[in-house]
Structure 1
């Protein structure tokens, strides 16, 4: 019996082999000869290599007890470290708290205004003190403004309203002070007297001592470039004002389009997208997704882990060994599986590939999948050629909203954060994106379009294709996970997967 470590394919950046060698993969595939069942397991993108190996060690006996030989793809993204390290710091920055207060004020005054207020031609906002009192509820574990319900028709932010907000923000002394603090932290050395750095920085920029920020470097650089020079110069807040107005308009737009996540989470998401995207995990999320695709690409003489494994496994299948193959992907592991299925489809279309033309996966099992609807929809459209059964275990929306990514600061789950902050559109701009594992998307009548319609139709066509956690509708359809990270360690989920393998 192979040890758990011998069942792991360890890859690094670009999908290249890490501690695993081609000889290791050769031996691993050879050990699958004439085995009846094989599981390819892809862990989530939140964990590092060490935890990836720990997951393999923990799940090896589970799969073996179900009569299957597991193969674990171990990789690392660093996303969890970034989110755990940066998000609490960002959400506690003085400039973030000021922006949160101002955007919340104007979003509340536009989205939730009373009938007839719009005709007055001004944005009627609550006072900063009232907003601050409401926002203080997060420290007690309560979501600010959760009681508010948006009207069925939310008008866009008009040009006149944007000008009014911009004028008020331009006169906002607190916002100006926060801007000065940021610029103070990046004063070019040439502007600072070598013997009196702190005093000189104050003289050049004005205001209090410098304050560090995790705003995106391009935003900070732009602010610094706009800073005045001279003994009593003040920093122009025009850029911050313009961006803040854009955030307010984006929040209003999301309520109009019905893809908001509630007032407070939506405001947090839009501030992060406009001011903090580089340090909120977006770059790592994008790189991680590219890694799951790159591992299946041809790269000359450079070995890619996923492609090399499938090359050898296809040869094994062609030799006559035909096990039932199940793929299991947790969180971003679903992105990995989508790319694997794309590669299987490519192989089927190539005459010289050893993959047998009639080979199909037995089961595709996704646990809290973090892939987009747009990525999963083409996969399920190819079910007839690629796999027999599909099952998705993921949380109910109530459980998703109770699984707080950053307790007391961001009261939604990782999938909400990926949807609202990390995903990018075709032009590589941050854009709100439906995530396949979110019941919020599944139940949203406003989420329409070819991908949403096709995936929703596929899932609804067979009730056994979705298991909403926590829930129990029989063997193979039980789940008790109440957090995103719990799915590959939940006894009911694991028992359900084992029941599928034994079926």
Structure 2
């Protein structure tokens, strides 16, 4: 725990959103009801009339959350008259995810399968070079040439879908075709080609039948394990073919329906989803989201106080403070911190607490658009103003997480960690554009809401934009870290 940070400025959320010690956390100290009582005693002593509550991003351990809290507290104390309170919660799966991605990248099986999928899917889509004279399709590349392309910082960056290519099946199936129909047509068309490709690749089949090192074997999805008890391989030949066909169909289908994340990132996403994603980090991502909701669980505050829910107890004390004191409350959330704030609104909508907020401010929000719609959009009386700072889609694509996956963390969440492909994430510009295929139902409502009253700011902004509307971050983590432009905009909103 940092010696610089007072317990009167932060609240550490424990196991399952309670005051219980979380053995998985990297921070030894867990807050207690008594410490929250002392925090509100301090507010009364200082006659505080404005507080700024900050929720750090997910995918970081609590000790890194403390470092971020220190930075936010410094800004709030320096530039505003608000009292800063930071919610710290251990959500440190980012290192696990990145380490797992590195392990997968170095897997001979993964890389060999990657080559096969690139050839088949790329050929069907007409993926061709935009730099070579006469153009050259992916399917015509040798394995050696594809491996060389994979060694580049951004593989296949100079390749695009060519709908005029003779091999491009994408032009044969209209985008409005129902997905089950697309699926059936593609399976029928691709099955023979995939069988030939797998059969011709003896090395891939041998790798599938090899016993993997423990570190690598642990990453494979259990549903892919061979049913032959005598085999030490990771997947049977029958399952390998079925999985490769499914992966390829999904890649092409996502291009037809315009739900892809670029050719190469989509190939990686679909392979990871089919073979590795169960242990890659989705379970931890879901656990983090559950914790964001659990901290606001209903409570009668009886029995063992360590089992009380931290956020709910804080709201109880805040409600009591408001009975006798004038107070303005602003909420700021970065990345998964937006999920915690959405869940707070969901909790308050039917509670008896008379707590409302002035500003709700998101930075690179990782919350789903449907969660945002059913909470903040559905209950506007619980807050007065909203603003979101995030990157343009162009900058988002340039924020490369690792070599294996040259897209941002929000793209990773959308494409891999959420249950469905291309899950709608509020911080991704493409998902809140209101344009096809991201339109209809709640997506239209979200898009319209964000486009009015300067509610969304995309970095990088021009120098002449008004105060409170500037942002300069070019990385997901930069918004609450090294991007003073965004933090200055947030402090402008808080000090108003």
The answer to whether residue 366 in structure 2 is matched with residue 334 in structure 1 is: no
Contact 2:104 2:216 in 1 (8 A): no
Other-structure match for 2:98: 84
Shift of 1:137: 2.7
**Residues 153 and 458 of structure 1: is their aligned pair in 2 closer, same or farther, counting only changes over 3 Å?**
farther
Distance 2:65 2:480 in 1: 11
Residue 495 of structure 2 is aligned to residue 502 of structure 1: yes
CA contact (8 A) 2:209 2:235 kept: yes
Aligned-residue offset at 1:234: 12
Q: In the alignment, what sits opposite 2:474?
A: 482
> Which residues in structure 2 correspond to 1:131-142 (within 5 Å)?
132-142=144-154
Question: Cα distance, 1:150 vs. partner?
Answer: 5.4
2:195 aligned residue: 167
SS for the counterpart of 2:142 is: helix
Query: Quick one: structure 1 residues 411 and 235, their matched pair in 2 at CA, closer, same or farther if it must change by over 3 Å?
Result: closer
Counterpart in the other structure of 2:131: none
Alpha-carbon deviation of 1:212?
4.0
Q: Given the superposition, is the C-alpha separation of residues 275 and 234 from structure 1 closer, same or farther in structure 2, using an over 3 Å criterion?
A: closer
Contact 1:361–1:386 under 8 Å retained in 2: yes
Tell me what 1:287 maps to. Answer: 287
Kindly indicate whether residue 312 of structure 2 is the aligned counterpart of residue 307 of structure 1.
yes
Give the Cα separation in 2 of the matches to 1:496 and 1:360.
22
1:384 aligned residue: 380
Confirm or deny that 1:368 pairs with 2:364: yes
User: CA deviation digits over 1:253-305, x for unaligned, max 9?
Assistant: 11121110111000000000000012321111010000100111136742111
After superposition, the C-alpha distances for 1:101-133 in whole angstroms (9 at most, x for unaligned) are 11111111222289xxxxxxxxx9724x53542
Q: Which runs of 5+ in 1 are unaligned?
A: 115-123, 187-210, 348-352, 425-429
Answering whether residue 62 of structure 2 is matched by residue 49 of structure 1, we say yes
Matched, 1:15 2:20: no
Deviation at 1:465, TM superposition (A): 0.7
Q: How does 1:99-114 map to 2 (within 5 A)?
A: 99-112=113-126
Once the 2 structures are TM-superposed, how far is the Cα of residue 64 of structure 1 from its aligned partner? Answer: 1.8
SS in 2 for 1:446: coil
Residue 31 (structure 1) shift: 2.4
Distance 1:63 1:160, change over 3 A: same
Displacement of 1:214 after TM fit? 4.5
The equivalent residue for 1:120 is none
Gaps of 5+ in 2: 22-29, 129-136, 164-169, 174-181
SS for the counterpart of 1:376 is helix
How far is the alpha carbon of 1:377 from its aligned partner? 1.5
**Residue 85 of structure 1, CA deviation:** 1.2
237 and 31 in structure 1: CA distance in 2 versus 1, 3 angstrom threshold: same
* Contact in 2 for aligned 1:380/1:455 (Cα 8 Å): no
**1:32 pairs with 2:43:** yes
Equivalents in 1 of 2:440, 2:372: separation in Å? 14
What is the rounded CA distance, in whole Å, between the counterparts of 2:486 and 2:348 in structure 1?
Answer: 27
- Is the Cα–Cα contact under 8 Å of residues 166 and 241 in structure 1 kept in the other structure? yes
SS in structure 2 at match of 1:390: strand
1:179 equivalent to 2:175? Answer no
2:451 match: 460
Distance 1:141 1:6, change over 3 A: same
Tell me the C-alpha RMSD between the 2 structures. 2.5
Deviations 1:148-192 (CA, angstroms, capped at 9, x unpaired): 1354746335343232134214413122111112x4658xxxxxx
Alpha-carbon contact 2:115-2:146 (below 8 Å) kept: no
SS class of match (1:391)? strand
TM-score by length of 1: 0.83
Query: How many Å separate the matches in 2 of 1:154 and 1:32?
Result: 66
> TM-score when scaled to structure 2?
0.84
Asked if the contact 2:392/2:429 (under 8 Å) is kept, the reply is yes
Structure 1 stretch displaced more, 385-394 or 470-479: 470-479
Q: Distance in 2 between matches of 1:486 and 1:384?
A: 29
Alpha-carbon contact 1:338-1:379 (below 8 Å) kept? yes
The structure having more radius of gyration, on CA atoms, is: 1
**Distance in 2, Cα, partners of 1:91 & 1:215:** 12
Please say if residues 227 and 236 of structure 1, whose CA atoms lie closer than 8 Å, have aligned partners that are also in contact.
no
Query: For the residues of structure 2 that align with 1:235 and 1:215, how far apart are their CA atoms?
Result: 13
SS at 2:390 equivalent: strand
Cα gap change, 1:390 to 1:271, in 2 (>3 Å):
same
User: How has the CA–CA distance of structure 1 residues 235 and 376 changed in structure 2, closer, same or farther, with 3 Å as cutoff?
Assistant: closer
d(CA) in 2 for partners of 1:16, 1:148? 50
Match of 1:469 among 459, 467, 472: 459
* Conserved 8 A contact 1:228-1:234: no
User: Aligned partners of 2:449 and 2:109: how far apart in 1?
Assistant: 45
User: Would the aligned equivalents of 1:395 and 1:481 in 2 still touch at CA under 8 Å?
Assistant: yes
